[in-house]
Each structure stands twice: as structure tokens, then as C-alpha cells.
Structure 1
Amino acid sequence: MIKFVLAINPGSTSTKVALYEDEILLHEKSLNHETNELEKYETIASQYDFRYSAVLDFLDEVDFDVTNLSAVVGRGGLLPPVKSGAYEVNEAMVDRLMNRPVVEHASNLGGIIAFKIASSIDKKAYIYDSVAVDELDDIARISGMASIERKSFSHCLNMRAVAHEVSEQLNKPYEESNFVVAHLGGGISVSAHKNGKMIDIVSDDEGPFSPERSGRVPCKDLVKACFEKGADKSDMMKKLRGKGGLISYLGTNDARQVEKMIREGDEKAGLVYEAMAYQISKGIGEMAVVLDGQIDGIILTGGMAYSDMLMKWIQKKVSFLSRVFILPGENEMASLAKGTLRVLNGQEKAREYKLG
């Protein structure tokens, strides 16, 4: 029996939607949201109606009857630590993502929007390979401050998908492979994969700065800035996530615009952009050490992996460690759909979320 799956992936500046007939992609679109439009909303949760309506408009645009859907899957958001694979979205998960997310992140809306659409047609909604997948080794949890434990938040879905893809290229099972994977998008994270598990990560708040996130900044100066006269928690958080990185230095989160500035002779843009590549390379080096240098491949993925300029800078720094694989873009939509199809076909069982 044919199965139709709608995949929804909210990102920092877009909501990606894709409609699948089994594993065949029927329609896909990135619903881009202007920064000035998103700035109207105080929180990610308050963007819910805006993004939900955009998804319904997409279904109208492609003239698809929503009642024909077999299931809806959303990008997993910032939940307490969960396992890899599928979870069925329930009221407890929706409540957590909407009202008490671990971190404010656009992906929190994926499961909520999926649940709303699926519930309206009496079907099930899922998340798959959530941002909150936690497979860290115990030693990786130690932060250096006893009251703070390192947590696993990363672009798990795309990272695991490309690791599986490269494993197939190498004719070696993912469960027997070691990879360093760098996801380069609006946020940047780097992960160490050992024998099928992500045993450590450099998350987007403790590593390279990105188009709109500040990444790891000097702790003492950050604390000082938080206590300066007039300092506001909300404003400080936006400087870390949303108005950091390239936006902070150059006023844009569009890497293509930055490259245009560089070609036109903007030396500051050149320095900042190369500094981002420099920091990404340092993050890859950190994860190479985690794997004791036993690496089957370094994988560069995400939207910025399309940038030849950025890729050349990074390859120059890290190619001595291992072979570099560049898989531009994101495999997230297909990964969401395929994971859901495995559940629908009985090949995989969805977990029940109980951590509300």
C-alpha cells in the first residue's frame, strides 16, 4: 500500500517541507523567512502559527489533500536527552517543546506542527533523530565546572545520515566506522562517530561561530558583559544565538553575500570568513583527538559545504588527518521520511516519550 509522508524541518531562517510517496520525493520547498519578519516574534514558540500556516499554504500550492497522508514527521527539537531513532509525538512532548524547551531553537516547532496536522486527520506524528540525541561517553560530559554538565545538542539527523552514506561508499558498516562530521549551516556543530554512536560533539555554543551564532567566546569577558549596566538576558542570548557570528561582524547571515563582499575587495569580510573556517577546522581537530586519530573520514555537510572558498580553507587545515568527504546540503528531509517509513512498515518501532 502506498504511503504518503509529510516531513517538516524548521530552521533558524526557513521551514523546509517535503512530501514523499514512499521514498519518492513528490514536492519539496524551503519556505524562507526574512529576518525582519521573524524579529516580530519574542520567542520561537510564538512563531508557531506563522510557520504552521506556511506549511498548510505549501500543501495547497501543490494541491495535495492532507487526508491522504499516512503520517507526518517533524524535526526533533530541544528535548531532555533522548535516544536515536523515532519517537511518536504526544501531548507531553508538545507541552515540553512549546512551554519548557531545554533551549530555544526553531526545530522545537517541527514536532508541534507535525502533531497539529496529524491530529486533524487522526494519523500519527513522529520526530526522528532529534537534536537532543545523547550518546556521549561519560568522560565527554565533564565540563570543568561541577555544577554544569556538558550536554549533547547537535545536528544529529543530517550528521548520522551522511555518516551512513559515506559508510556505504567505503563498503564498511556504520557500526564499525569512525567519522568526524561537521554540519555547516545557520548553526555549526561537529561530532565524533565511533562504531555507530556519536560519542562526543562540539555544539553550536562551544565551538566555531556560524552565520548567526557566536559559538565559543571568552568566558570571563562574556560574564563581564552580562553584568554591565543595562545588560539584558534576552539581548545577551540573542547575541549568542541569532545575532552572533557573521551577522555580528558583517551584518548578514548569508555566506553568499559575504563571498560577494570578499570578491569586491572587503578585507574585513575576508578575515572574518576565513576565521570561521579556521574555527571549524579547530573543532574537527578536537574530535579527531577524541577518536585517537583513528578516522575513516572527515565529512563536511550542510548548506555552507556548497562554498568552494570555505571548503578549500578547511581542507587545507584538516586533510592531513584523514580523507575529506564533502556532501553539500542536507539529507534531513529524506532521512525524516525514510525513518518514518521504517516505522510505518514495521521495520522499526517508535519510542514513547515520557519525559514531559
Structure 2
Amino acid sequence: MSLQSSPHHVLVLNCGSSSLKFAILDATTSEEVISGLAERLGSSSPSVKYKYLGKKQLIELAPDQAHSAAINTLVSLINEHHLAENLIAVGHRVVHGGEHFTKSVLIDDDVIKGITQAATLAPLHGHANLLGIAAAQASFKGLPQVAVFDTAFHQTMGNVAYLYALPYKLYTDYGVRRYGFHGTSHYYVTGQTAALLNQPIKQSNFISAHLGNGCSVCAIKNGKSVDTSMGLTPLEGLMMGTRSGDIDPGLFNFLTTQLNYDAQQIDDLLNQQSGLLGISELSNDCRTIEEAAVAGNEKAILALEMFCYRLAKQIAAFMVPLQRLDALIFTGGIGENSDIIRDKVITQLSYLGLDCDSTANLAARFGTQGIISSHNAKTKAVVMPTNEEWVIALDAASIAQEL
């Protein structure tokens, strides 16, 4: 089936607070038609970068233009390249679905209300998602709009895993609990890894490590999420690109009383100035830090060691709900491309029956899936490229075709 004649194209939108990632995919094949990123929206120099037919292009937007302008530019591109006739739906990545949304849904007024309520738990992401939905509804009035939630995959967690040891009323009255994120990624690589290992997903116990600028680990028992490292917000858990991950909550009192930080300064510190960037004092980009570490930069070496140690410790902790582990999965930009980090983490987890085949580990880069443990390893280590856009496209196409 050719791209131009396919009736199963889905426009996938992923709105951030100052960005809009988009792609049109064939939901039957995952083949990408066009993709791009609008960034620095609302600033003095917003732009849209996109790739079509193998060629990369850049469109400069007028100063201070935001999501609606980016959507309008996208509509123009779709019309210019005659891509609208095959679109059957628009799929929206929605970061926070709260407890209300346990699966992807067709967007209507009630869904908008639910997303708006959940947005208070992740205001930067949630409000941006709503902006994207509103702009897409105005521009693609004839197409079904579908919300796909980052939190949905983790709704199978039990209350011992998702509750905080806080007064119970904070949960019942305000929804304060652990939700988890990167759900579409963990869901996708779980299915792909089960297929790679030729074992039924309902009999598979995996630990999935999604490692990028944001990082999370998910414990998957018999194909379902039973625990994950992120919590109420995407800040909890692992050390990340610019996020601190787990800290002592007493730090808040110290920062406010001793250093006169206000709430916004603390938020910026923990979300934007910490993690790999904070320790290395170089970059949040793992590639830059690895190069500096090889050259002998002590802070870069420390940043990598901390990152791998905390990741290995979290993986080990998830043996409690799993008891048996079939495979450790690496995915995301760092997980798919950093053979150095994979080797360091696996070495620290050798007691779980994991090992690392150096040749296979080095070969599994740049979008290549594969088993990177030896044939004799009791537990498999797997590199599995994620494809969140395809998950969103599949769900959107499925819901659209039921209408």
C-alpha cells in the first residue's frame, strides 16, 4: 500500500509548554509521511523544522507566535503537499490523565473537562496539551480527535505502589498519588520485546528503562505495569537530564529558610538545573558528558557514575514486585544509543543473571533493536527502540474506525 493512497494516516501532536512535535504516520505500517518540531513558541524567535520526502526544511515564525500559529503552519504544509485527503484522525499525546482516564478516548466536552482537572497535577504539560487540542479542533473540524494518555498504562498499579505515605485525604480529596509517565513508550517496548523473545506477553516479566532527557523505569508483570519510578509529576524517581529525581523533602525547608528560595526558584532548581547538567556543570546531553568523561573530566565521570548507580538501584528495587525477571529493556535516546551506560548498569546487576556481550552492545545503536546479553545469560538484556508516535496513531485510528 503506497503512502499517498493509504486511508490510514493519522496526525500525531505532542504539545509542550513552548513546543509542538508533530508527525503524520500510516497507522498500518508505522511509516512516516512528514514530521517536525515547532519550538521556542511564544519567544522572540519561534520556528518550525520539518522533514518531508527525506528533505529537512526550516520555517521562521513571527516573534511571539504560539501554538495556534504552529498549527496553522502545519495545516499549510498539509495542504501544500496534499496530505489531508488520507487523514482519518488526530491523535494527541496527553501527559496527565489522572485516575479518570485508563485508556485512549475520543475527545468531547467531558473529556476536555477531565483533562483540565488533571492539568492541575502537571500544569506545564497539561495546559499545553489543551492548547494543542483546541488549535487542532479549530483547524481539523472534520476529523476525530483522540487523547492518548501517558499515565494510562500505569493504571494497573496497586494502591501499595501508587499511594504516598501522606494523610489519606490528600489522595481522596485532591488526587495526590503516584501516576507514572512514559506509559506509551513502556507499553510499546513491552510488546515488541515479548515478540522478539517469542514469549507470550501475558507470561512476561520485564523491567523497562526509558532513558532520555526524562527517565523512568517500569516494572511489568505478566504484561501489566505494577510499579514505576515517576510519581505525581515527572520529577520523581531517577536522575535525569536536568531533573534531580528523588530528593529529601526536607530540602524544601532548607532552601526556603536558609537560602531564601521561593517556590518557583525551587521548581526551576529541581526541574531545570539539576540531574546530569547540575552534576557535570557541562550539559544535560549524555553524549557531551560521555565525551568529557572519556577525556578525563572528573565531574562528567561523576555524573555518569551517579546516573548509572541510581538507575541500577531502581531496577534492583523492582525485583520486589516481580520476583522473576525475563528481560531488562533499554529504550529512549540514551537507552537506545549509549553502550557505555548500558554496560555500566548491567555490570552492577550481574547478580540478577544479566551480562553484556560487548560486540552486541556496541552494535545496538542508532535505532537498532537486539539482545545484548550473551547466549548463556539467565536474564536477557534488550535494546528496543521506542515508537510512541505509532502507539498514538494506532489508538487514534482504532477509535476513529469505530465511529
TM-score, normalised to structure 2, is 0.74
Which of 66, 75, 82 pairs up with 1:50? 66
Does 2:28 correspond to 1:23?
Answer: yes
Q: Distance in 1 between matches of 2:255 and 2:110?
A: 37
Residue matched to 1:45: none
Deviation at 1:201, TM superposition (A): 1.1
SS of aligned partner of 2:121:
coil
Amino acid at match of 2:382: F
Task: Kindly report which structure 2 residues correspond to 1:1-356, keeping only aligned pairs within 5 A, or say none.
Answer: 2-10=7-15, 15-24=20-29, 25-31=31-37, 33=39, 50-61=66-77, 63-65=80-82, 67-68=84-85, 69-94=87-112, 97=115, 100-106=119-125, 109-110=128-129, 112-120=131-139, 121-131=141-151, 133-147=154-168, 150-203=177-230, 204-249=234-279, 250-292=281-323, 294-305=324-335, 306-321=337-352, 322-328=379-385, 330-346=386-402
Residue matched to 2:361: none
TM-aligned CA distance change 1:166 to 1:85, over 3 Å? same
Deviation at 1:228, TM superposition (A): 3.4
Between the aligned residues of both structures, percent identity stands at 22
Q: Distance in 2 between matches of 1:224 and 1:191?
A: 32
Aligned partners of 1:79 and 1:102 also within 8 Å = no
Aligned partners of 1:72 and 1:124 also within 8 Å = yes
RMSD: 3.1
Aligned partners of 1:71 and 1:118 also within 8 Å = no
Deviation at 1:315, TM superposition (A): 1.7
Q: Which of 1 and 2 has higher RCO (CA within 8 Å, sep 6+)?
A: 1
Deviation at 1:180, TM superposition (A): 0.9
Q: Deviations over 1:192-215 (max 9, x none)?
A: 111232111111433211001110
Amino acid at match of 1:225: L
SS of aligned partner of 1:345:
helix
Larger radius of gyration: 2
Q: Distance in 2 between matches of 1:78 and 1:64?
A: 33
Aligned partners of 1:182 and 1:189 also within 8 Å = yes
Runs of 5+ in structure 2 lacking a partner?
Answer: 1-5, 47-63, 172-176, 353-378
TM-aligned CA distance change 1:60 to 1:255, over 3 Å? farther
Aligned partners of 2:19 and 2:67 also within 8 Å = no
Deviation at 1:178, TM superposition (A): 1.4
TM-aligned CA distance change 1:231 to 1:96, over 3 Å? farther
Which stretch has the larger CA shift, 216-225 or 63-72? 63-72
Which stretch has the larger CA shift, 24-33 or 256-265? 24-33
Q: Deviations over 1:48-70 (max 9, x none)?
A: 96244335434544634575332
Q: Distance in 1 between matches of 2:181 and 2:144?
A: 25
SS of aligned partner of 1:144:
coil
SS of aligned partner of 1:134:
helix
- Equivalenced residue count is 338
Runs of 5+ in structure 1 lacking a partner?
Answer: 41-47, 350-356
